[in-house]
Amino acid sequence: MLEDKVAIITGGTRGIGFATAKKFLENGAKVVIFGTKVQSVNEAVEKLKTLNNKYDVIGFYPNLTCESEIKNIFEEIEKKYGKIDILVNNAGISSKTKIEEYTEEEYDQISNLNIKAVFTCSKLVIPYLKKTKGVILNTSSMVSIYGQTAGVMYPASKFAVNGITKSLSRELAPYGIRVNAIAPGIIETDMVKNLPKEIIEPLIKTIPLGRIGTPEDIANGFLFLASDLASYVTGEILSIDGAARS
Catalytic residues: 154
Q: Identify which of 125, 118, 130, 127 has the alpha carbon closest to the alpha carbon of residue 165.
A: 118
- Residues 6+ positions from 231 with CB-CB distance below 8 Å: 178
Residue 65: Cβ within 10 Å count: 17
* Residues 204, 187 contacting (CB under 8 angstroms): no
- Taking the C-alpha atoms of residue 163 and residue 179, their distance in angstroms, rounded to an integer, is 11
Query: Each residue of 86-95: b (16+ CB within 10 Å) or e?
Result: bbbbbbbebb
Mapping DSSP to helix (H, G, I), strand (E, B) and coil, where does residue 208 land? coil
* Residues 224/226/232/233 CA torsion (nearest 10 deg): 70
Maximum C-alpha span of the chain: 51
